[in-house]
Structure 1
Amino acid sequence: MTQHGPVLPLWLCEACDRPWPCPPRRDELLGEYADVSPSLTLYMGTCLVSARQDMSWAPPDTLRLRFLGWIP
């Protein structure tokens, strides 16, 4: 189990206080979803929708890159 979960509604990492998904969590997610990358995109898209609701003040493109831009 990861220690790098999100603290809501700020979407900060509970372990390292960086914007979630933080680099360590991204690496974990890439490993967890290595064989099912479309599922990772779907999961992170769901997180993006929730984050947009929680952080309506954040620029949409910034959130899109944060939640989806790192997925190969």
Structure 2
Amino acid sequence: MTAHGPELPLRLCEAYRRPWPCLTRRVDLLGEYDTAPVALSASLWSHLTAARQDRTWAPPDTSYRRFLGWLA
């Protein structure tokens, strides 16, 4: 994991202290999963699922946009 990993339980970028995945990590993820976009979606879905359990106060649509919406 890079220095831009998710810091739990709020899932903030370890480097920027902003919502994860930050722009830097998004670029990294696109490169890492270049030939496996379905695997990237599955990985981010698992992050979304865990985040929803930790951040029950966050609106579902906001969490979805944060973890998966940027892929569209």
Report if TM-score (shorter chain) is over 0.5.
Answer: yes
Please state if 1:58 is matched with 2:55: no
Give me the whole-angstrom Cα distance separating, in 2, the residues matched to 1:65 and 1:34: 21
Alignment of 1:44-55 (within 5 A): 44-55=44-55
Report the equivalent of 2:30. 30
TM-score by length of structure 2 reads: 0.96
In the TM superposition, structure 1's runs of 4+ consecutive aligned residues that sit over 6 Å from their partners are none
Q: Matches of 1:40 and 1:52 in 2, distance apart? A: 18
Matches within 5 A, 1:4-19: 4-19=4-19
RMSD, matched Cα: 0.8
- How many residues were matched structurally? 72
Identity of aligned residues (%): 57
Gaps of 5+ in 2: none
Q: Give how far 1:17 is off.
A: 0.7
Q: Tell me what 2:2 maps to.
A: 2
Task: Structure 1: state its 5+ residue gaps.
Answer: none
